[in-house]
């Protein structure tokens, strides 16, 4: 793919990622993607012949990789798992607040909407969450935490719930509470 094609594809993914994170699957209609991206309909179908589901799936994977890269970066510099988790909560909280409380978790809205009814997108959401859990579990194991896999799942659930509450309340308070409880959970192993 040439530079122009890559730019067009990237713009369509950027737009879709923004729309699904703020408004979910149903908030990212093809007409909205086309209008917001400024790309012609033909470009969308050229780059995503599978239509909306292919576009959304790739946008979710891309968003998942972006968050995973940020968490990996934190993991590389954090002195321990507690610092990694508080850094992760701060990063996601800053992102949420800077977006005017529109950007919590980049996959949560789609997961909540479609997990029970859309197998392909449910699987993409599950894969993204599993990749984040793996980063946390690997760090927990390296730091000697017992039951690293279960603890990673628990901590991710705590963070996801805190993001949802923070978004609903337009307040960082749930994130601050989650950070304190995650620290307590990790120091009492």
Q: What is the 3-state secondary structure (H, E, C) of the chain?
A: CCHHHHHHHHHHHHHHHHHHHHHCHHHCCHHHHHHHHCCCHHHHHHHCCCCHHHHHHHHHHHHHHHHHHHHHHHHHHCCCHHHHHHHHHHHHHHHHHHCCCCCCCCCHHHHHHHCCCCHHHHHHHHHHHHHHHHHHHHHHHHCCCCCHHHHHHHHHHHHHHHHHHHHHHCCCHHHHHHHHHHHHHHHCC
Is 23 part of any domain? no
Output the domain CATH number for residue 71. 1.10.357.10
* Number of separate domains in the chain: 1
Is 150 part of any domain? yes
**Residue range of the domain that includes 159:** 57-187
Is 93 part of any domain? yes
Q: What is the pLDDT of residue 8?
A: 92
Is 33 part of any domain? no
Is 22 part of any domain? no
Condensed to tens digits (0 to 9), the pLDDT of residues 126-141 reads 999 999 999 999 999 9
Is 5 part of any domain? no
Is 75 part of any domain? yes
Q: What is the pLDDT of residue 1?
A: 64
Is 111 part of any domain? yes
Q: What is the pLDDT of residue 104?
A: 87
Q: Which residues of the chain have pLDDT under 50?
A: none
């Amino acid at each position: 793919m040439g530079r122009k094609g890559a730019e067009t594809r990237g713009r369509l993914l950027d737009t879709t990622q923004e729309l699904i994170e703020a408004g979910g699957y149903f908030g990212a209609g093809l007409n909205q993607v086309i209008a917001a991206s400024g790309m012609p309909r033909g470009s969308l179908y050229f780059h995503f012949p599978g239509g909306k589901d292919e576009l959304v799936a790739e946008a979710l994977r891309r968003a998942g990789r972006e968050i995973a890269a940020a968490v990996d970066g934190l993991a590389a510099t954090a002195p321990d798992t507690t610092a990694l988790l508080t850094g992760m909560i701060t990063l996601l909280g800053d992102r949420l607040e800077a977006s005017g409380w529109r950007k919590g978790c980049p996959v949560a809205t789609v997961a909540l909407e479609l997990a029970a009814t859309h197998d392909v997108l449910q699987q993409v959401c599950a894969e993204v969450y599993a990749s984040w859990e793996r980063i946390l579990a690997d760090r927990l194991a390296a730091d000697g935490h017992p039951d690293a896999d279960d603890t990673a799942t628990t901590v991710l659930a705590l963070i996801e719930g805190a993001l949802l509450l923070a978004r609903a309340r337009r307040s960082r308070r749930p994130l601050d509470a989650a950070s304190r409880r995650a620290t307590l959970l990790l120091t009492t192993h």
